[in-house]
Amino acid sequence: MAGDIEMRYRRLGRTGLAVSRLCLGTMNFGPKTEEIDAHRIMDGAHEHGINFFDTANVYGWQTGEGITEQIIGRWFASGGGRRERTVLATKVYGSMGPWPNEDKLSALNIRRACEGSLRRLQTDYIDLYQMHHVDRETPFEEIWEAMEVLRQQGKVLYVGSSNFAGWHIAKAQEAAARRNFMGLVCEQSLYNLVRREIEMEVIPAAEDYGLGVIAYSPLAGGLLGGVHGKSGDGGRRFDARAQAELDACRHQVAAYEQLCSQLGEQPGVLALAWLLTRPGLTAPIVGPRTLEQLEESLRAITLADDLGVDALAAIDAIFPPHRPAPEDYAW
């Protein structure tokens, strides 16, 4: 069935860059997915038209190693046009060593981190270089100067953010405008049915400044993947944080799974499809551990077209939306 689904594409924010409506997340590559299987997943992504891959220098979770980037780099090095067909996004901010200036967004770390990512990824340019978090101690003038140098050198084509609040986006874009620099082209945020807070300010700010929005954790760490139907004790095993989140929304999750049953859809697929209906949303990030999981997610592309107003209203009734601020909490 996956082979019959035609991938859709959308421009990334106000750029001319076309990216697939599903973004392949690679955070599992290394810790949970062996390299041979990761390569198979990436080949499968290309076969199904997914051209947008997301990673980060810290993925692999062994400080300084960049294990996930290395796995991707060896896949690129195997040839076959793999690099050329990929819109590659990676990130800078997380710690890559114990010394000062090996994390965050100083000009020094941006330069060093970029060189490290290029080396591990076995490429000479990064399509989308994302700030993984806000650095409250580094002025945007310094950040933009460092990014301008990377663009002038041809090492970075576009710059994005992740985990920025709406006012951080505004501050970053105004600082870029003063330098006649393009600034951010997208924001990557936590966004799913359980966590819809970015609807208040982040999405409105992104739309106003022409940024695309990329949603990470679209299944809320597995909460929207059918947890009640997967075991007889009412849910799969989670770590303490995820378990606390499940406990806080258990009744909603149960009602959601009942709705999925009524619609005849898998909970995880419906959660992805719902995201694809959201205004301003460029792509959710899917993080499959297997090729089969990747292929299952493709159904969301066509399901998004079929979700009618009644189904969307039923979803909103379970997981209430946020309105743009200030109307969400004021008159």
| pLDDT (average), residues 41-63 | 98
| pLDDT (average), residues 299-320 | 97
Domain span at 248: 2-318
Task: For residue 329, tell me if it sits in a domain.
Answer: no
85: CATH: 3.20.20.100
| Number of domains present in the structure of the chain | 1
Task: For residue 144, tell me if it sits in a domain.
Answer: yes
| pLDDT (average), residues 246-258 | 95
Active site amino acids:
59
pLDDT at 211: 98
Q: By CB neighbour count within 10 A (0-12 exposed, 13-18 middle, 19+ buried), where does 96 fall? A: buried
Task: For residue 199, tell me if it sits in a domain.
Answer: yes
Indicate whether 234 pLDDT > 60.
no
pLDDT at 235: 45
pLDDT at 184: 98
Contacts with 97 (C-beta within 8 Å, 6 or more apart), sequence order: 63, 64
Cis ω on the peptide bond leading into residue 326 (within 30° of 0)? yes
| pLDDT (average), residues 259-281 | 97
Look-up of token digits 């004021």: 330
Task: For residue 32, tell me if it sits in a domain.
Answer: yes
pLDDT single digits (tens) 83-135: 999 999 999 999 999 999 999 999 999 999 999 999 999 999 999 999 999 99
Indicate whether 259 pLDDT > 60.
yes
Task: For residue 115, tell me if it sits in a domain.
Answer: yes
pLDDT single digits (tens) 29-39: 999 999 999 99
Task: For residue 229, tell me if it sits in a domain.
Answer: yes
Indicate whether 300 pLDDT > 90.
yes
Q: Which backbone phi and psi does 184 adopt, to 5 degrees? A: -75, 145
Helices (H) and strands (E) in the chain, counts: 12, 10
Query: Can you say whether the dihedral through the CA atoms of 314, 315, 320, 325 is positive or negative?
Result: negative
Query: Can you say whether the dihedral through the CA atoms of 168, 274, 219, 66 is positive or negative?
Result: negative
Task: For residue 325, tell me if it sits in a domain.
Answer: no
Average pLDDT, the chain: 95
pLDDT single digits (tens) 123-180: 999 999 999 999 999 999 999 999 999 999 999 999 999 999 999 999 999 999 999 9
Task: For residue 328, tell me if it sits in a domain.
Answer: no
Confidence of residue 230 (pLDDT cuts 50, 70, 90): low
**8-state DSSP, 96:** -
Q: Which backbone phi and psi does 106 adopt, to 5 degrees? A: -65, 155
**Alpha helices per DSSP H over the chain:** 35-47, 67-77, 107-121, 140-152, 166-178, 202-209, 240-248, 250-263, 267-276, 291-297, 299-306, 309-318
pLDDT at 2: 56
Token pair, residue 27, equals 């955070």
pLDDT at 180: 98
pLDDT single digits (tens) 197-223: 999 999 999 999 999 999 999 999 999
Indicate whether 242 pLDDT > 80.
no
